[in-house]
Amino acid sequence: MPVAPDSTPRGGRLVVLGSAGLTEGFSLVGAEVYPDADPAKVEEVLGRLVHEGCQALVLLESHLAQAGGHWLDRLRNEGGRIVVTELPPLAAPRDYAPAVDGVVRSVLGPEALK
């Protein structure tokens, strides 16, 4: 059954935190965006999602994803209804190296991702 435009969607929320340029594109597809967010804003938003009992996919620009924090670390360790992943920086996508790369290299060896 289609969702009426003015009703609350039944699925989870798409939340994006990062630079204004990166978040602008996501706002066009209806994501909840926080342009020019800092680590404190990430913690605020994640804490609110947990307290509201939301289901969400949260996309963080890499510098925010690597900043750590109580809620960010907790959600990464728990998994579940709030999934947090990172996006490469808009200005330097080729410089992006996700945190999982280090884990893969430690398990499979330094040449694993070449």
Is CATH 3.40.50.10580 what the domain over 13-89+96-108 is classified as, yes or no?
yes
Torsional sign, CA 57, 58, 62, 67: negative
Residue extents of the structural domains in the chain:
13-89+96-108
Please report the pLDDT score of residue 79 as a whole number: 72
Instruction: Tell me the pLDDT band of 70, cut-offs 50, 70 and 90.
Output: very high
Please report the pLDDT score of residue 34 as a whole number: 97
Please report the pLDDT score of residue 7 as a whole number: 40
Overall average pLDDT of the 41-53 stretch: 96
Rounded to the nearest 10 degrees, what angle do helices 39-52 and 70-78 cross at? 50
Distance CA 54, CA 69 (A): 19
Instruction: Tell me the pLDDT band of 78, cut-offs 50, 70 and 90.
Output: confident
In terms of pLDDT, which residue wins out, 81 or 97? 81
pTM of the complete model = 0.74
In terms of pLDDT, which residue wins out, 88 or 111? 88
